[in-house]
Amino acid sequence: MIRACIFDLDGVIVDTAHYHFLAWKRLANELGYNLTLEENERLKGVSRMQSLEIILELAGISLNDSHKEILADKKNGWFVDYVERMLPEEIYPGVKQLIGILKSRGIKVGLASSSKNAQTVIRLLQIQHEFDAIVDGSMISHTKPHPEIFLKTAAKLGVAPSDCLVFEDAEAGVEAARAAGMKCVGIGSPVLLRKADKVFSKTSDFNLATLHELQTISN
């Protein structure tokens, strides 16, 4: 039975994944590296420092820890600048309605985001009260694809992992959901997210018919 739906934030509820990309691309440019959209897929779902490590590896640059902290802070400053100008209307169409439908069916709704800015983003979107449990990047020790964030959210919701369905736009996130023993709906490319049970191009394409269909699939 699916008793809880756990949503990733960036790229699933709102297009902040794009703001992360813009800020990382700007940082990469300063380092003399041109970060592509394809390479950016590897940065999705993982922590800020892990993302920076990937960029440095791509660029073939090695830096000490304090220099890395400075660059990660710089990127975050730009990201926060983009996000602070965001309006509640930027939430993807249909997502609030979907959450409402799920809740009306007695399904619990959780948020599991690797971002340390997650609370700010959901406050700006005015959806902080929609979730029965929230776990963000400041509450975990292991980044996706480790299952920790989803297991923690399920525990907060009081729902067994096998009764949870995750919505994810990141390859690392889909892997984390699978590793947690949860079902997973991918949002984005069916090729990149092939480990998901179902893939849609947008979150609001998911409906109750898909929920019923997924109830019958074993994890």
Q: Which residues bind ligand BG6 (CB under 6 A)?
A: 9-10, 17, 20, 43-45, 47-48, 51, 76, 113-117, 137, 170
Instruction: Give the nearest distance from C-beta 66 to Mg ion in angstroms.
Output: 29
Residue 10 bears catalytic tag: yes
Candidates 69-77, 139-147, 162-170, 183-191; binding stretch for Mg ion (CB under 5 A):
162-170
Nearer to ligand BG6, 6 or 170 (CB): 170
**Residues 8, 136, 163, 169: which is the catalytic one?**
8
Asked if 8 is an active-site residue, the reply is yes
Q: What is the dihedral of CA 126, 25, 199, 156, to 10 degrees?
A: -50
Note whether 8 binds Mg ion by CB under 5 A.
Answer: yes
Q: Secondary structure of the chain in the HEC alphabet?
A: CCCEEEECCECCCECHHHHHHHHHHHHHHHCCCCCCHHHHHHHCCCCHHHHHHHHHHHHCCCCCHHHHHHHHHHHHHHHHHHHHCCCHHHECCCHHHHHHHHHHCCCEEEEECCCCCHHHHHHHCCCHHHCCEEECHHHCCCCCCCCHHHHHHHHHHCCCHHHEEEEECCHHHHHHHHHCCCEEEEECCCCCCCCCCEEECCHHHCCHHHHHHHHCCCC
| Residue 14 binds which of ligand BG6, Mg ion, none (CB < 5-8 A, kind-dependent) | none
Neighbours of 8 (CB within 10 A): 30
Q: Among 28-36, 71-79, 101-109, 165-173, which window interacts with Mg ion (CB under 5 A)?
A: 165-173
Q: Is the Cβ of residue 10 or residue 130 nearer to Mg ion in the bound state?
A: 10
Q: How far is the CB of 120 from ligand BG6 (least distance, A)?
A: 9
Q: Is 10 in the site for Mg ion (CB under 5 A)?
A: yes
Phi and psi based region of residue 169 (left: phi greater than 0; alpha: psi -120 to 50; beta: remaining): alpha
Asked if 175 touches Mg ion (CB under 5 A), the answer is no
The residues pairing with 166 across neighbouring beta strands, listed in sequence order, are: 6, 184
**Least distance to Mg ion from the beta carbon of 40, Å?**
11
Question: Whose Cβ is closer to ligand BG6: residue 54's or residue 160's?
Answer: 54
140 binds, among ligand BG6, Mg ion, none (CB under 5 to 8 A by kind): none
CB under 5 to 8 A by kind: which of Mg ion, ligand BG6, none does 76 bind? ligand BG6
So which residues are the catalytic ones? 8, 10
| Footprint of Mg ion (CB under 5 A) | 8, 10-11, 169-170
